[in-house]
Amino acid sequence: MEAFLAIVHNMVMLIGIVYIAQFVTGIFNWPGRQNNVVYRLFGFLLSPVTKAVRFITPAKIADKHVPVVAFAMLFWLYIILIAARLYVKRPELFQ
């Protein structure tokens, strides 16, 4: 169980880092970010996560806000996974 949580934890962290990298890449040329090859590559890598979040979010959330919601969900999942890994490793801390 500990190895599974470690793998999921690292995958969530990697996806979060790619979201941050896409944002930083977009900052350099905000109006023309959709024409940037690196920005589009990050978008391609993140498209499964963004589509999954779009599926579970209400329709009132605009499409341009879905990556922000996805990053927020990944952040809280990351925090929960830290607590879960800590609980598996040292359950006496939760008594």
Give the pLDDT confidence of 28-80 residue by residue, as tens digits.
988 998 999 999 999 999 999 999 999 999 999 999 999 999 999 999 999 99
Give the pLDDT confidence score for residue 88 in this predicted structure. 93
DSSP 22-72: HHHHHHHTSTTGGG-HHHHHHHHHHHHHHHHHHHHS-TTS-GGGHHHHHHH
Confidence of residue 95 (pLDDT cuts 50, 70, 90): confident
* Phi, psi dihedrals of residue 90, rounded to the nearest 5°: -135, 80
Residue 94 has pLDDT above 90, yes or no: no
Confidence of residue 19 (pLDDT cuts 50, 70, 90): very high
C-alpha R_g of the chain = 16
23 to each of 49, 65, 77, 94, how far by Cα in Å? 15, 13, 20, 37
Give the pLDDT confidence score for residue 43 in this predicted structure. 94
Whole-model pTM over 0.85: yes
